[in-house]
Amino acid sequence: MQFYSTKFILLLIVLSLLLPDFSLAEDLSATCQKISESNDGCKDLSSTECRALLEKCAKYYDDQTQQIAQDLTKTTQQKNTLSSQVSTLKKKIQSLEAQINQGTVVVKGLNFQINDTQKSIDKTSFKIEGSQEQIINILRSIYEEDKKSSFEILLSGNLSDFFSNLAYLESLNSKVSDLMESTQNLQSYLQGQKVKMDGEVTQVQKTIALQNLQKKENEQNKKQQEQYLKITEAQYQQQLKDKQDAEQKSAKIKAKLFQTLGVSKVPTFGEALEVAKTAANMVGIRPSFLLAIISQESAIGKNVGQCVITNINTGAGKRISTGAATIRVMKPTRDVPIFTQITSALGRDLYKTPVSCWIPAYINGSPSGWGGAMGPAQFIPSTWNLFADRLKNILGAAADPWGIKDSFTAAGLYLADLGASSQTLSAESKAASRYYGGSSAYARSVASRASCIQGFIDNGTMSSSCQDLIF
């Protein structure tokens, strides 16, 4: 009978547990890849099954995007560290080059001094030789004088002249000897200075040699760090590409997820909440905040406007309920041309499509502001036009301001652009205020609605006061 160690058995158990997960992950990746590239979506599945799979794929790509984003952060840190190291090494190399150049200049200066000192030593040696010859000649003269006999001195004429000449020669000999001693001392000093400067040159040359070695080592390290930086940059670019690819696939999956949502013309709260979740997750804001904005703007699609335009030249219109004429329904120069294009593209009657009425406001007695906001999200035509291309990329078709899914997505994009993607109460308050044109009262009302909706998302229930506010 063959026995296996406990560690081996545990390893087999761990592998048996892990391998199915690997298989499932690979299968999900392949499935999601296929769905993101397919125009048919998941046609062989039921609507419920398809939606569940799309939600799983959306989460898969969101998780992948998040993981790659974390990797990008690490890679960016590595890039910054390597760049800093390369910069530091570059500065060290430049500093060493400056020190080497300075040392080289010092050596050249010392060599010039050594040459000058050697010349001075040579001149001093020449002077010493001359002094030595003079002393020899003087001593020879003194010697010759000393050899003269008394008779020769007397014959020469004057005894005092003889002694004067002898004294002069001895004095001259003393002076020349002193000069030679002084010159010898100078020669000794100069030779000492030359030895000292030779030592300084040797020391500086050793320092230069060491600095050259340090420079070479730093250059090699810099080259190695630059290579690492190059590899890291390639890794960063690949991660960036992978992140963009995951984001694009996620966007495609979420667009397909929209297509599975069955929403009535005026959605129920449950339908609106599902659309809000999908749209909000797509742009990175809170679903409760997005639905609170739609609730504030149009009672979740129940009130998309009480007026219609009657005069495209002046922007005047009338109330739908009474037919009463009203002014400033839509700004003729800014919004009417775009409104005409939108309604024409959607096959809507320009004069029968409801928009918001003008809210009477006056500045110094003159009317101010315009109506003309469209659909559940209440975009004015010129603002809607700013998001048309982005919406088309996300939804796969030209967006409809009166469409529930389209208007929710447009509002989500706008709110994300206004800062709501940070998902803090402060950021949401600022975004809500700017969405309406700058109103703290509006922002407070939206915050109350968002709190009620978030409570329902978390707990599945809603207080009577919240129901009165939302419905």
What pLDDT does 307 receive?
A: 96
Kindly tell me if the per-residue pLDDT of 262 is higher than 60.
no
**66 or 410: whose pLDDT is higher?**
410
**266 or 144: whose pLDDT is higher?**
266
Mean pLDDT, range 341-367, rounded to an integer? 94
The model carries a pTM of 0.54
pLDDT tens readout for residues 438-465: 889 999 999 999 999 999 999 999 999 9
Q: For helices 425-436 and 404-417, give the axis angle rounded to 10 degrees.
A: 110
CA distance 4 to 335: 80
pLDDT-based confidence at residue 261 (cuts at 50, 70, 90):
low
The answer to whether the beta carbons of residues 356 and 371 sit under 8 Å apart is yes
What pLDDT does 2 receive?
A: 41
* CATH label, 66-249, candidates 1.20.1740, 1.10.287, 2.60.120, 2.60.40: 1.10.287
pLDDT-based confidence at residue 156 (cuts at 50, 70, 90):
low
Mean pLDDT, range 356-374, rounded to an integer? 94
Residue 105's nearest CA partner among 117, 97, 93 is: 97
pLDDT-based confidence at residue 100 (cuts at 50, 70, 90):
confident
| Ranges in the chain annotated CATH 1.10.287 | 66-249
Kindly tell me if the per-residue pLDDT of 180 is higher than 80.
no
What pLDDT does 18 receive?
A: 40
Weakest mean pLDDT among 7-11, 44-48, 226-230, 454-458: 7-11
What pLDDT does 254 receive?
A: 66
Kindly tell me if the per-residue pLDDT of 12 is higher than 60.
no
Weakest mean pLDDT among 67-76, 95-104, 345-354, 395-404: 95-104
What pLDDT does 90 receive?
A: 83
How far is the CA of 20 from the CAs of 14, 27, 34, in angstroms?
11, 10, 21
pLDDT-based confidence at residue 5 (cuts at 50, 70, 90):
very low
How many degrees, rounded to 5, is the angle at CA 439 between CA 434 and CA 441?
135
Phi, psi of 168 (to 5 degrees): -65, -45
Q: How many CB atoms lie within 10 A of CB 441?
A: 9
